[in-house]
Amino acid sequence: MDFHALQQRLRRFANERDWQPYQTPKNLAMAMTVEAAELLEIFQWLTPEQSLNLSDDQRRHLGEELSDVLLYLVQIADHGGVDLDAAVERKLAMNAIKHPPKKS
């Protein structure tokens, strides 16, 4: 996934629909949270085991909600001035320090 190319596509998509005035990081963060909760809804009454064995329909639905979250996520990074690839590497390094492995 080329985040920069995707961000350009999404900017063009928004421009063609006059959505720019709505595209503040604040609004996009709300929209991403709404989509995260729609994803959560898929699992809300499932047992942990059932969540590991999704039907084809549930998996397709999950793919749509994951995409919705990701599309807002890359737009927040774009409009908020964050280099997402660099931020992820930095976070992985922080996590490795915060949570030392149990095993050698």
Q: Looking at 5, 47, 57, 97, which residue binds a copy of itself (CB under 8 A)?
A: 47
Q: Is 27 in the site for a copy of itself (CB under 8 A)?
A: yes
**Site size toward a copy of itself, by CB under 8 A:** 70
- Spatial distance between the Cα atoms of 23 and 21, rounded to a whole number of angstroms: 6
Establish if 7 lies at the interface with a copy of itself (CB under 8 A): no
Q: 55: number of CA atoms within 13 Å, CB side? A: 4
Give the Å distances, CA to CA, from 59 to 11, 37, 51, 65, 76: 28, 16, 10, 10, 26
Binding of a copy of itself at residue 94 (CB under 8 A)? yes
Pull the structure tokens for residue 33. Answer: 């949270």
- Give me the residues that bind a copy of itself (CB under 8 A), please: 1-3, 6, 9, 13, 16-18, 22, 24-27, 29-34, 36-49, 51-52, 54, 59, 62-64, 66-71, 73, 76-77, 79-88, 90-92, 94-96, 99, 101-103
